[in-house]
Amino acid sequence: MAKLIYVANVSLDGYIEDARGSFEWTAPVDEVFTFITDLVRPVGTYLYGRRMYETMAVWETQPALAAQSELMADFANVWQAADKIVYSTTRHVVSTANTRLERRFDPGSVRDMKTSADRDLTVGGPTLAAHAFNAGLVDECQLFMHPVLVGGGKPAFPSDAGIQLELLEERRFGNGVVYLHYRIQS
């Protein structure tokens, strides 16, 4: 059975973006970017909410981005090769290949995907992740903790989450980012 993994960049005070909606503080240095690319390379399917999909779609819709470096081209290739499912009630079409649009998050459908998939799935974006956490579908969290306090904004986790985590792995990067890999305790 495949795992559903929540992957997120997070400030030390627990936010994925600040009160203005900015997440510029998450721009990775090459060392972190290489690590992230290798981390998501084996993923078969990305589950996204509308906003996270729109943020990530540039890896296919803006070829000049991938042309900036070998690292960026590698990530773009990895991202484009995976399947994507976008959950949105407002979006009518998707702009990338290997992508399908779903109107609502259906826990049973995601459970079936986990059972039948031969590669892991990720969930991106805290709103969609909250649905997955509340349905008991998330198996692991892979967090990139950034050495910044943003003071408010969009929280990385649902406020009603009462989840125990087991630390599986950690890694420190030269720019102060710390990777934390957790398993959800049942």
The whole model's pTM is what?
0.96
Query: What is the greatest pairwise CA distance in the chain?
Result: 44
Confidence of residue 161 (pLDDT cuts 50, 70, 90): confident
Q: Residue 58: its pLDDT value, please?
A: 97
| pLDDT tens readout for residues 41-64 | 999 999 999 999 999 999 999 999
CATH 3.40.50.300 matches 4-120:
no
| Cβ atoms of residues 10 and 141 within 8 Å | no
Mean pLDDT of the 167-179 span:
98
Q: Residue 22: its pLDDT value, please?
A: 93
Per the prediction, the chain carries an average pLDDT of: 96
Domain positions in the chain are: 4-120
Q: Residue 159: its pLDDT value, please?
A: 86
